[in-house]
Amino acid sequence: MLEAIRERYIFNKCQVIILDDDGIITLSDDHLFEVPNAQPIENVHPFFETIRHLFDDKNEEHVFHCIHLEIGDVIGNYNVIFNSGNKEQNPFLVLYDFTENCNYIQTIVQRRNESVIALEFEQIQAQRLQAEQVFKNKLIATISHDLRTPLTSIAGFAELLQKQQGTPQGANYVQLISQSATVIKDILDNLLGLAKLEAGVAETQLKKLHLPELTDYLEAIYAPKMQQKGLQFSLKKSAPKNAFIADTTRILQVIINLVDNAVKFTEKGSIQVFLSVLAEAATEPILQITVIDTGIGFPQEATEKIGSFQRFHSTDVEGSGLGLSIVQGVVKHLQGKLDIQSAPDKGTTVWVEIPIQYAAETATAVQTNSDASITLAPLKIIVADDNDVNILLFQQMLAEQENVQVIAVNDGNTVLDELQKQPVDAVFLDVHMDGLDGITTAKLIKSNKLTKHIPLVAFTATNSAEELDMLQKAGMSLTLGKPFTQQQLLQVLQQISATK
């Protein structure tokens, strides 16, 4: 009786194999699986081959847990005890069948591991999204806001001054203001397009690339800065006579970021910029940009890190600034190459190569849209903005328009007061105003029977589709973006006067 129980519950789960000193099977009870007699044990399964070396040291015992063996038709997991024997005792193996336990454990561990891995991926995803969010928010918020406000005034005043026909220096100066405003605006647009660039959907805008113009411009904006900081500045160019086209705005963005970076990290010495176009027959021309500074530099590992940046938000090399990662992104987009050499306290050299194109010979006619072509019906309009500069600009741009009467106010409540007093043809509303903001004011105007027909123009620096949509919904059917030109302002007024 006892034997029968033992037979069924213990012996059935256990096998003993006796070996000789050479690992040849001399006896096996074959309770679990059959093994061939008088054969080397390693023929049974590769596992046994891995323990052959243990035969040499006598009186040793090792336990191997949960070994998976497939022998003939029998598949299982076993705890294996190996005893190397001694003078009196042959080496032997004892195997315990743990297949059921292992299978059970397997299901539990499977569940656990899968959930641990899934959790990690969720965390990685969340972190990435957050980092992206933080980066983009910071970047977009600071740059768009800080730049657009002064831009509104620079661009507008420059345009006005240009018309006033000042002294030659004045005109020159004005042109510079105007140019730099355009460039800043382009850069801003580019920055906002960085997301697109990342996603690989950014479009390329080919324009004329004229090195002398480019260097004149760089000279004009950087020479005073360098002088102020006591740095030597040299700007050299070389290019064949051919005409070239390229994504000039982005190229300028690359150069400006590189030079800005150099200026930022150089306290003494010099900054040298070389621009050259390599154009040999049969190959596409290449623009080479080299910026050499004598600044603080950074360790070589860091440059490797920068060199391998794939995503613009992964900027985490201290001292490299945001600029380099923008450059990286743009250069990649332009299918160019970037290389950096830097040594701490010695300086940094950055090389960029960007493929460009030969221009087709046809001259592109510049479209000129004369203000004279715009005629306006008599209009009375309200403009509300809490920034007096914008108001002033607005008024001055319309100074020559005798038909247009402008009522300028600083907040939404005053707009509502003015509307009580007199009928007007349109209201220009700054969106962010102290006091009653533009959106609330718009909603109030639109909810009043007496005023709801009046066209409302959102006077805004935003270009987020969501926000523009919100403005539309608040009843502002037209927009005048900041910065705006006289031309744009007149066009909006023309639309209003046409529907009058």
Partner 1 sequence: MLKSKKIVLVGHFGVGKSSLIRRYVQNVFSDDYFVTVGVHIVKKVVQVNNQELTLLIWDIEGKEDMKKLRPSFLLGTSGFIYVLDASRPSTYEILEDELDFIRTNYPKTELVTVANKIDLVDKESFIATLGEKAPWITHFSSAKTGECVELLFEKLAHTLVQ
User: What is the binding site for partner 1 (CB under 8 A)?
Assistant: 45-47, 49-51, 53-54, 62-68, 77, 102, 105-106, 109-110, 113-114, 116-117, 120-121, 124, 301, 304-305, 308-311, 314
> Considering beta carbons, is residue 24 or 124 the nearer one to partner 1?
124
Structural contact between residues 12 and 31, judged by C-beta atoms closer than 8 angstroms: yes
The distance of closest approach from Cβ of residue 303 to partner 1 in the complex, given in angstroms and rounded to an integer, is: 11
> Considering beta carbons, is residue 113 or 137 the nearer one to partner 1?
113
Residues paired with residue 428 on neighbouring β-strands, in sequence order: 383, 457
Q: What is the Cα–Cα distance from 188 to 168, expressed in whole angstroms?
A: 30
Q: What is the Cα–Cα distance from 378 to 369, expressed in whole angstroms?
A: 22
The distance of closest approach from Cβ of residue 401 to partner 1 in the complex, given in angstroms and rounded to an integer, is: 56
Within a 10 A sphere around the Cβ of 350, how many other Cβ atoms? 24
Q: What is the Cα–Cα distance from 347 to 329, expressed in whole angstroms?
A: 23
The distance of closest approach from Cβ of residue 347 to partner 1 in the complex, given in angstroms and rounded to an integer, is: 23
The distance of closest approach from Cβ of residue 46 to partner 1 in the complex, given in angstroms and rounded to an integer, is: 4
- Tokens for 25? 């099977």
The distance of closest approach from Cβ of residue 305 to partner 1 in the complex, given in angstroms and rounded to an integer, is: 5
The distance of closest approach from Cβ of residue 116 to partner 1 in the complex, given in angstroms and rounded to an integer, is: 8
The distance of closest approach from Cβ of residue 110 to partner 1 in the complex, given in angstroms and rounded to an integer, is: 4
> Which phi and psi angles does 96 have, rounded to 5°?
-110, 135
The distance of closest approach from Cβ of residue 137 to partner 1 in the complex, given in angstroms and rounded to an integer, is: 22
> Considering beta carbons, is residue 105 or 141 the nearer one to partner 1?
105
The distance of closest approach from Cβ of residue 109 to partner 1 in the complex, given in angstroms and rounded to an integer, is: 5
Closest to 183 (Cα-Cα) out of 221, 227, 156, 210: 221
Q: What is the Cα–Cα distance from 356 to 286, expressed in whole angstroms?
A: 6
Structural contact between residues 55 and 48, judged by C-beta atoms closer than 8 angstroms: no
The distance of closest approach from Cβ of residue 39 to partner 1 in the complex, given in angstroms and rounded to an integer, is: 16
Angstrom CA distances, 206 to 64, 84, 431, 452, 486, stand at 70, 80, 34, 45, 26
Cross-sheet strand order for the sheet of 456-460: 404-409, 379-384, 426-430, 456-460, 478-481
> Which phi and psi angles does 419 have, rounded to 5°?
-65, -30
> Considering beta carbons, is residue 308 or 362 the nearer one to partner 1?
308
> Considering beta carbons, is residue 68 or 452 the nearer one to partner 1?
68
Task: Looking at 334-402, list the stretches that DSSP marks H as alpha helix, in order from N- to C-terminal side.
Answer: 388-397
Q: What is the Cα–Cα distance from 175 to 220, expressed in whole angstroms?
A: 11
> Considering beta carbons, is residue 63 or 129 the nearer one to partner 1?
63
> Considering beta carbons, is residue 68 or 236 the nearer one to partner 1?
68
Structural contact between residues 202 and 193, judged by C-beta atoms closer than 8 angstroms: yes
Pairing of strands 244-246, 357-358: antiparallel
Q: What is the Cα–Cα distance from 121 to 80, expressed in whole angstroms?
A: 38
> Considering beta carbons, is residue 56 or 361 the nearer one to partner 1?
56
The distance of closest approach from Cβ of residue 308 to partner 1 in the complex, given in angstroms and rounded to an integer, is: 4
Closest to 170 (Cα-Cα) out of 178, 159, 179, 161: 161
335: buried, middle or exposed (CB in 10 Å: 19+, 13-18, 0-12)? exposed
> Considering beta carbons, is residue 75 or 377 the nearer one to partner 1?
75
> Considering beta carbons, is residue 237 or 311 the nearer one to partner 1?
311
> Considering beta carbons, is residue 83 or 451 the nearer one to partner 1?
83
